[in-house]
Structure 1
Amino acid sequence: MDAVVEALAFFFGFLAWVMVWVALPYRYWRVSTVDGNVITTSTIYENLWMSCATDSTGVHKCREFPSLLALGYIQACRALMITSIVLGTFGLMATLVGMQCSKIGGENYIMKGRIAGAGGVFFILQGLCTMIAVSWYAFNITQEFFDPLYPGIKYEIGEGLYIGWSSATMALCGGSCLLFSCGLCNPKEKKSHLQNVRSYSNQPQSSHMVQTASTTSNVPFSQYGLNAYV
């Protein structure tokens, strides 16, 4: 596995994991404005946790959603985003152990490659969870916005969704890089590595040392010249 590809995948995964943490509490997941005759009188924005309003004077007020059971898809998006953070944490740990430049997992590069591949799977699952949560939230925004019979407030897509989409894309790229680099490993290198390990473990080192010592002891002293001691 190429060390540069591993480092790049780890960077993408770490950046995606950080962006999930940024997007989860971000307030502007959807935004709606109420215009007056001249200026904007108020701005209403929501995320997965609360709804806020800001007037033209800069005073804002937020309230949390009262009921968890009444949230519907928002509760599911919460669970997906939290699952994404957990999967990203596992992916970072597995990739850090499986990298060739890391000494945490020893020098068994075949096992380290498998661990790095597992980290790639975790990154891909993280990206899928984030993508599903953000896209599901955006789908409901657009469905309500273009529905002429919807009686409530019509929102538009906020910055938090773009952060989530960027995080999902980076996580998918990082996981794909790890899996692709694991698939490019040369089978001959793996086979030679296994043969070297097995031959070294099966070599009768003790008998070889005893035979060498006995052969040396049987050589008469007269065969050694004076030049051997100079």
Structure 2
Amino acid sequence: MVSAALELAGFFLGLLGLLGSLVSTVLPYWENTAHVGSNIVTASGTVKGLWMECVTQSTGAFQCETFNSILALSSDLQASRALMVVSLVLSTLGLAIAVLGMQCTVCLEESAEVKKRVAGVAGCFFLAAGFMTLVPVSWTTNKVIQNFYNPNLPATLKFDLGDCLYLGIISALLSIMGGVMLSASFCEGQEGGGGPGRWHGGGYPYPAGGLPATRNTTNLQMGGMNVNSRGQTLVPTGNGSLGTVHGKPVAAGYDVTGYV
């Protein structure tokens, strides 16, 4: 069975991934002004994010302005917004579901199989959230690098990679790692094994308490003898009654399973 420590590690990695993705989504440090060319670096600079653009004045003042019109934004920025928001929602759902499915919690204790599957579902949510965070971060990183090395683009329009891009990549990897650890519960559910109610050694399944407490004692008529299901043979005696012979039932050179 997947250890509780592994599930806890996956839970906390997913939590760290959620916090990192939240910070990356809110803060505007996705693109920083690149000071390139022969000009001396000035004190002012511009940073851009998913929701706002901020400017640092030469006096040290920091002023931000949100993007007012959604329709005026580029398609890649709109897609990045949507993916990051969906990633946050999936991570939050994954945390809530993981609390129900982890072994260290008291929820769903009546069914170990259901508990494992719930933990695996939480891992799938973390995996999806990690990939959704990785897509817009990688997309923006590729765009910034291409624009930086574009010779036809003026130096004033070139940007460097912001801190939120690095944080987004790390957060996505943490969410994916946490999802893999929690999803290991699905792999364990496919293994045969020593849990209660499972089939043991290819035999018939019995409940956790072992063999059934009672058995039917249906009698089988074979020749001139009665054989019950407990392996006892009832044979006629001299006084007209039936006697019991313990052991394997035998009749006319044959037993119940075949030749003697």
Q: TM-score w.r.t. structure 1 length?
A: 0.79
Q: Is the 8 A contact 1:29 1:161 kept in 2?
A: yes
Misfit runs of 4+, over 6 Å: none
Aligned length: 203
Q: Is the 8 A contact 1:34 1:41 kept in 2?
A: no
Q: Is the 8 A contact 1:2 1:181 kept in 2?
A: no
**In 2, Cα distance between equivalents of 1:91 and 1:10:** 9
Partner of 1:69: 71
Q: 1:52 to 1:191 in 2, by over 3 A?
A: same
Identity of aligned residues (%): 34
1:181 positional shift: 4.3
49-58 or 156-165, which deviates more: 49-58
Q: Map Cα deviations across residues 5-54 of structure 1 (whole Å, 9 max, x no partner).
A: 10100010111111111111112111005589655231110100111111
Q: What one-letter code is carried by the residue in structure 2 that aligns with 1:13?
A: G
**In 1, Cα distance between equivalents of 2:124 and 2:80:** 21
**In 1, Cα distance between equivalents of 2:139 and 2:111:** 42
* 2:96 matches 1:93: yes
**In 2, Cα distance between equivalents of 1:190 and 1:9:** 24
**In 1, Cα distance between equivalents of 2:152 and 2:111:** 63
Partner of 1:53: 55
RCO higher in structure (CA 8 A, sep ≥6)? 1
Q: TM-score w.r.t. structure 2 length?
A: 0.71
Partner of 2:27: 26
Partner of 1:219: none
Partner of 1:16: 17
Q: Is the 8 A contact 2:119 2:185 kept in 1?
A: no
Q: What one-letter code is carried by the residue in structure 2 that aligns with 1:174?
A: G
Structure of higher CA gyration radius: 2
1:139 positional shift: 1.4
Q: 1:159 to 1:59 in 2, by over 3 A?
A: same
Q: Quick one: which of 164, 168, 173 aligns to 1:169?
A: 173
Question: Superposition RMSD on alpha carbons, in Å?
Answer: 2.4
Q: 1:154 to 1:37 in 2, by over 3 A?
A: closer
Q: 1:146 to 1:38 in 2, by over 3 A?
A: closer
| SS of structure 2 residue aligned to 1:84 | helix
* Structure 1 unaligned spans of 5+: 205-230
Q: Which has the higher strand share?
A: 2
Q: Is the 8 A contact 1:110 1:190 kept in 2?
A: no
Partner of 2:86: 83
Partner of 2:8: 7
**In 2, Cα distance between equivalents of 1:12 and 1:49:** 26
1:180 positional shift: 2.5
Q: Map Cα deviations across residues 75-118 of structure 1 (whole Å, 9 max, x no partner).
A: 11000000001100111111110011111222311000000000
Q: Is the 8 A contact 2:116 2:185 kept in 1?
A: no
| SS of structure 2 residue aligned to 1:28 | coil
**In 1, Cα distance between equivalents of 2:132 and 2:109:** 32
**In 2, Cα distance between equivalents of 1:203 and 1:101:** 34
